[in-house]
C-alpha cells in the first residue's frame, strides 16, 4: 500500500465510524480541540479496507485509528473478530473506557513501541 494512505482491514468494523487521530491534531476525543473527526477512513472499492489520505500528517508524526463504540462489550467483540481473522495489528486490546473508544493500528505504516500502552503508527 502507498504510504500516502492509512489503511486498515475492514474486518469487524462494518458500519462503524473510524478516524485517524494524530499527534499534531491533539489525538482523539480525550481532548476538546482534537481534529480526528476531520480525518475519517472510507471503505475501499472492494470493501476489504478502510482508507484515508495522509496529506495532513507530517513526516515522523505518530497516529492511530480511533473507533467510537457503545462500550467495552462492543470493543471486545470487534477486537475478537479482528484477532480471529488475522486483521488486528499487534495483540494489544487498546480500549479507553472514559471515552468509549477502541484504538487500532494501521497495517500500512510502521509501529513504534509495539505492545506498550503508547504504541502508535508513524508516518514516514
pLDDT in tens, the chain (124 residues): 457 899 999 999 999 999 999 999 999 999 889 999 999 999 999 999 999 999 999 999 999 999 999 999 999 999 999 999 999 999 999 999 999 999 999 999 999 999 999 999 999 8
Which pLDDT value is given to residue 32? 86
At 84 the three-state DSSP class reads helix
Name the pTM for this structure: 0.94
Separation in Å, CA 24 to CA 9, 20, 95, 118: 25, 11, 21, 16
Amino acid at each position: 500500500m502507498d504510504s500516502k494512505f492509512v489503511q486498515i482491514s475492514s474486518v469487524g468494523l462494518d458500519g462503524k465510524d473510524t478516524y485517524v487521530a494524530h499527534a499534531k491534531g491533539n489525538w482523539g476525543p480525550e481532548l476538546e480541540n482534537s481534529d480526528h473527526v476531520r480525518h475519517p477512513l472510507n471503505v475501499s472499492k472492494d470493501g476489504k479496507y478502510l482508507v484515508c489520505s495522509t496529506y495532513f500528517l507530517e513526516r515522523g508524526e505518530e497516529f492511530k485509528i480511533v473507533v467510537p463504540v457503545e462500550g467495552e462489550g462492543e470493543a471486545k467483540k470487534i477486537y475478537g473478530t479482528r484477532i480471529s481473522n488475522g486483521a488486528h495489528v499487534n495483540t494489544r486490546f487498546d480500549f479507553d473506557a472514559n471515552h468509549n473508544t477502541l484504538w487500532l493500528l494501521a497495517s500500512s505504516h510502521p509501529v513504534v513501541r509495539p505492545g506498550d500502552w503508547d504504541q502508535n503508527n508513524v508516518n514516514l
